């Protein structure tokens, strides 16, 4: 078999988890954070920092960059330790604290059980261990807004007040959130303890995204394989999508993959276009998979209606089939009012299109159309939740018009 020709020298650079040496257009943000955090190297407690910004604006990258710099200056962590936790991945207060502790306590499993202790007991051990090290800890809580939705904001409060228990060591927090209202969601006591400075990461524009991509892949493609115009095209699409650098990088990586798979000698706009459509399919698939069970049943009802020839339906049609399905699946049957809410949610996610239609004196109703591509529908129908429905045929519908 012929070996596939690699178009790029080091594909890792186009993985979104890769941290490049340089982060163009984030110098001001890096300088500002560094000027606050650097006091940790002199044994002082830096102010807490809250970083806000839309997805793909480089928040995680900038903070990791700062962590790497700290490590360069103080490799043995004599003065300062940088600890990072993603609150979306670790989902309980106990888990978050345990995760942070495991980054600086050697043989943590012999000292602290992964479960079983109360949070308070873990917290007490946590600050004792911190105090013993006589260091400044910079603790990053990435995607910190997830803790609120998981009712875990007590961890934020506890970490913000940990300095009250410390004499020789100090803790400084960096919170990262997509949600500008994060602070308002906190309990007042946690908010006032946190204090701190806020930094907002603005979205990148097209030319900034272009610079970011160019710098990132500098020297990685042979002459003539990747024209600037293709980079510009990726930047243009990502700029339209709210200045998301992750999207720009993903587009280029997937386009490179597609070109390599086809055995094409260079990357073109057409490859970027295919990359874009494959990413969109993935997004829809993810959205469908992550729906709550009741919402899945509503979507299935819309699919069953569509398959039975009722391609433009009203809420009543959705509700009738939904009731049958819920009954067969032995889940509780919600009211039509609740189903209307689910329909609006599916509409907002772009999985269906629901437009209000007026019938004059007869009133108004929603006209609902399925927007999920066929192949995804087929995979969705195989969701284990729907197993009991294998031979289900929807009842015949009475149509309004
Ligand atoms: N200025 C930049 N230069 C080079 N690469 C960048 C820059 N900004 C972001 N990136 C890259 O874009 C991708 C997304 O950035 P990052 O993960 O930091 O975004 P984020 O703001 O944390 O987004 P989210 O809110 O979704 O977590 C990463 O691969 C990152 O390396
Ligand atoms: Mg991030």
Instruction: Summarize the confidence of residues 201-228 as an average pLDDT.
Output: 95
Ligand nearest to the CA of 253: 1
- Identify the pLDDT of residue 365: 78
| Ligand nearest to C-alpha 16 | 1
Nearest CA to ligand 1 atom 18: 58
- Tell me what the pLDDT averaged over the chain comes to: 91
- CA of 54 relative to ligand 2 center, distance in Å: 9
Strands 170-177 and 49-53: parallel
Distance, CA of 362 to CA of 323 (rounded, Å): 25
Report, as an integer, the average pLDDT of 62-75: 96
Residue 39, pLDDT score: 92
Q: Whose CA is nearest to atom 13 of ligand 1?
A: 246
What pLDDT does residue 394 have? 64
pLDDT for 306: 94
Q: Which of 143, 148, 203, 207 is nearest to 174 (CA)?
A: 143
If pLDDT is split at 50, 70 and 90, which confidence band does 395 have? low
Q: Whose CA is nearest to atom 16 of ligand 1?
A: 58
Q: Cα(86) to centroid of ligand 2, in Å? A: 9
Examine the pLDDT at 33 and tell me if it is beyond 70.
yes
Q: Is the pTM of this model over 0.95?
A: no
Q: Determine the atom of ligand 1 nearest the C-alpha atom of 25.
A: 1
Classify each residue of 168-205 as buried b or exposed e, where b means 16 or more C-beta atoms within 10 Å of its C-beta. ebbbbbbbbbeeeebbebbeeebbebbebeebebebbe
Please tell me the distance between residue 138's alpha carbon and the centre of ligand 1 in angstroms: 20
| Strand 80-86 with 49-53, pairing | unpaired
Top mean pLDDT of 107-111, 133-137, 142-146, 186-190 is at 133-137
- The model's confidence at residue 357, banded by pLDDT at 50, 70 and 90, is confident
The CATH architecture to which 27-201 belongs is 3-Layer(aba) Sandwich (3.40)
Name the closest-CA residue to atom 3, ligand 1.
23
Q: Which ligand is nearest to the CA of 204?
A: 1
Contact 45, 163 (CB under 8 A): yes
pLDDT of residue 400: 47
Gap from CA of 243 to ligand 2 centroid (Å): 14
Residues within 5 A (CB) of ion ligand 2: 60
Q: Quick one: pLDDT at residue 398?
A: 52
Give residue limits of the domains in the chain. Answer: 27-201, 204-288, 291-389
> Can you tell me the distance from the alpha carbon of 228 to that of 226, in angstroms, rounded to the nearest whole number?
7
Mean pLDDT across 285-301: 95
Class of domain 291-389: mainly alpha
Q: How far, in Å, is the centroid of ligand 2 from the Cα of 110?
A: 32
Q: How far is the CA of 199 from the centre of ligand 2 (A)?
A: 14
**Is the model more confident about 50 or about 186?**
50
Residue 306's H or E segment, with its range, is helix 293-307
Q: How far apart are CA 296 and CA 202, in angstroms?
A: 35
Q: How many CA atoms lie less than 13 Å away from 187 in the CB half-sphere?
A: 13
Average pLDDT for residues 273-287, to the nearest whole number? Answer: 92
User: How many angstroms does the Cα of residue 60 sit away from the middle of ligand 1?
Assistant: 6
At 401 the pLDDT is 43
Distances (CA, A) of 340 to 123, 315, 345, 346, 352: 44, 7, 9, 10, 13
8 Å CB contact between 330 and 323: no
| pLDDT more than 70, % of the chain | 95
Q: Which ligand is nearest to the CA of 217?
A: 1
CA angle 247, 8, 238 (to 5 degrees): 15
Tell whether the model's pLDDT for residue 149 goes beyond 70: no
Q: Whose Cα sits closest to atom 2 in ligand 1?
A: 23
pLDDT higher than 80, residue 174:
yes
**Substitution site in 29, 61, 208 for ligand 1 pocket (most atoms within 8 Å of beta carbon):** 61
Which amino acids bring their CB within 6 angstroms of ligand 1? 16, 20, 23-26, 53, 55-61, 178, 212, 216, 245-246, 249
Mean pLDDT, residues 45-51: 94
* CB count in 10 Å sphere of residue 39: 16
For residue 193, the model assigns a pLDDT of: 85
Closest CA to 118 of 169, 89, 158: 158
Specify the range with the lowest mean pLDDT, choosing from 49-53, 126-130, 153-157: 153-157
pLDDT of residue 121: 92
Distance (angstroms) between ligand 1 centre and the Cα of 216 equals: 12
**Minimum CA distance residue for ligand 1 atom 1:** 23
Q: What is the mean pLDDT of residues 151-166?
A: 83
Q: Is 152 a residue whose pLDDT tops 60?
A: no
Buried-state track 243-253, b at ≥16 Cβ within 10 A, e below 16: bbbbbbbbbbb
Q: Which ligand is nearest to the CA of 61?
A: 1
Interval between CA 88 and ligand 2 midpoint (Å) = 10
Furthest CA-CA distance within the chain: 78
Residue 90: its pLDDT value, please?
A: 83
Mean pLDDT over 307-319 rounds to 93
pLDDT at residue 358 tops 80: no
Predicted confidence (pLDDT) at residue 185 exceeds the cutoff of 60: yes
Q: What's the CATH number for 204-288?
A: 1.10.8.60
**Euclidean distance between CA atoms 315 and 339, whole angstroms:** 8
3-state secondary structure of 89: coil
Residue pLDDT, tens place only, 316-356: 999 999 999 999 999 999 999 999 999 999 999 889 999 88
The reply to whether 291-389 shares the fold of 27-201 is no
Give yes or no for residue 1 having a pLDDT over 60. Answer: no
């Amino acid at each position: 078999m012929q070996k596939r020709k690699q178009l790029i020298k080091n594909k890792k650079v186009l993985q979104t988890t890769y941290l490049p040496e340089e982060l163009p257009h984030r110098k001001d943000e890096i300088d500002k954070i560094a000027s606050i955090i650097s006091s940790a190297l002199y044994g002082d407690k830096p102010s807490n920092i809250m970083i806000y910004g839309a997805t793909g604006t480089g928040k995680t990258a900038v903070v990791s960059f700062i962590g790497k710099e700290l490590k360069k200056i103080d490799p043995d962590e004599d003065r300062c330790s940088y600890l990072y936790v993603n609150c979306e991945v670790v989902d309980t207060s106990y888990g978050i604290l345990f995760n942070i502790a495991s980054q600086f306590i050697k043989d943590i499993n012999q000292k602290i059980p992964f479960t079983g202790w109360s949070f308070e007991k873990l917290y007490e051990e946590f600050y004792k261990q911190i105090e013993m090290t006589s260091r400044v800890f910079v603790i990053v809580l990435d995607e910190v807004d997830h803790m609120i939705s998981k009712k875990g904001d007590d961890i934020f409060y506890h970490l913000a007040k940990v300095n009250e228990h410390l004499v020789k060591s100090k803790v400084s927090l960096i919170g990262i959130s997509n949600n500008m209202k994060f602070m308002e969601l906190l309990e007042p006591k946690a908010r006032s303890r946190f204090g701190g400075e806020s930094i907002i990461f603005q979205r990148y524009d097209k030319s900034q995204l272009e610079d970011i991509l160019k710098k990132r892949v500098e020297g990685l493609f042979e002459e003539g394989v990747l024209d600037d115009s293709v980079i510009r095209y990726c930047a243009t699409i990502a700029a339209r999508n709210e200045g998301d650098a992750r999207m720009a990088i993903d587009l280029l990586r997937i386009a490179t993959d597609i070109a390599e798979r086809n055995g094409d000698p260079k990357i073109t706009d057409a490859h970027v276009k295919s990359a874009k459509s494959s990413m969109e399919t993935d997004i829809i698939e993810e959205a469908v998979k992550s729906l709550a069970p009741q919402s899945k049943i509503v979507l299935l009802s819309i699919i069953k209606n569509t398959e039975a020839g009722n391609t433009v339906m009203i809420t009543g049609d959705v509700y009738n089939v939904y009731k049958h399905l819920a009954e067969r699946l032995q889940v509780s049957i919600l009211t039509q009012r609740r189903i209307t809410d689910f329909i609006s949610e599916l509409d907002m996610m772009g999985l269906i299109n629901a437009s209000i239609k007026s019938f004059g004196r007869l009133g108004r109703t929603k006209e609902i159309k399925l927007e999920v591509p066929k192949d995804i529908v087929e995979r969705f129908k195989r969701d284990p939740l729907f197993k009991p429905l294998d031979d289900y045929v929807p009842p015949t519908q009475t149509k309004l018009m």
